Amino acid sequence: MGSVKRVGQTSHRMIATNGIQMHVAEQGDGPLVVLCHGFPELWYSWRHQIDALADAGYRVVAPDQRGYGQTDRPEGIEEYDIVHLTDDLLGLLDALGEERAVFIGHDWGGPVVWNLAQRVPERVRAVGALSVPFVPRGLRDPIASMEATFGDNFFYILYFQEPGVADAELDRDPEDTLRRALRATSVRETSQGLRPIPREGTGWREWLPEPGPLPEWLSAADLDYYVAEFRRTGFTGGLNWYRNISRNWEITADLAQTKVEMPALFLAGAQDLVALFMPDTHMDAWVTDLRVRVTLPATGHWVQQERPAEVNEALLSFLASLD
């Protein structure tokens, strides 16, 4: 399983799972809670939650997911489909010697944990998502639907589809890339995030506003950690998750009628851009035991970093309901 490196109270190690080496941060003892980050993030996105949950009596594990940070970055695009991503978490459970866990995901981590709850409910004690609600499988390939919706207007998910294009732009200056990503979808910049702009000739930097001062929830040291990791790895691993959206739709046909029936949580910022194209209107019909549902006012997309105290309170309330 590799050697354990301790940083403060949090230990770090590499774990073999599903054919890759996965870096995890872990802390505490008790029922297992696995925290799954999104794009462009890392285990570090949960830095405010790890201590709080561990101090409350939980074993907390936050991985760098496939393609990110110190975890392996396979070359094949199809190695980042939803089956690989969820199988990574199943292998993680096995490596940790745990039969079940509570899985909490933010951003892309949300679809991963929702899908895991559908695929293998016996391994998921409870499930929670931040920012990205459960969305049932549609009748049409989501990328085709986005093409029809956005037409000649730029949309970042469509821009991410062609291998090598967004990669080159985002890799060119990781600090600028991350400043734009983390600032532009924080609450003070929400009005600029999805403004109409022609698709032709537009890239990441034309779409997102010029990076100004860091938002108050992100310190220079925090940004430095992200930048150092993405400067080393590039962004291709994370972008490959987007390049499997059509494939994910194709290979999950068997789950089209599967509801999420274990205890669940959903938490989002009231000014999160994701709500504009992924509304939570289907949650009540498809998530049958939605115990905690919170919308934080004056909050954008990076909820667990923007409002850690409120997120921790919601998570601990949810976890307490499982006892």
Residues annotated catalytic, as ranges: 107, 301
Element (H, E) at 269: strand 264-269
Beginning with the edge strand found earlier in the chain, give each strand of the sheet holding 290-296 in spatial order. 5-7, 10-17, 20-27, 59-63, 32-36, 101-106, 124-130, 264-269, 290-296
Torsion angle of C-alpha atoms 305, 295, 60, 87, degrees rounded to 10: -100
**237, two tokens:** 């691993």
Q: What does the block give as tokens for 102?
A: 């509570």
CA distance 121 to 108: 19
Q: Helices 47-55 and 308-320: crossing angle, nearest 10°?
A: 40
* Cα R_g (the chain), whole angstroms: 18
Secondary structure string (H, E, C) spanning 7-30? ECCEEEEEEEECCEEEEEEEECCC
Angle among Cα 153, 159, 165 to the nearest 5 degrees reads: 140
Beta bridge partners of 229: none
Nearest by Cα to 114 from 88, 86, 142 = 86
For strands 264-269 and 124-130, give the pairing: parallel
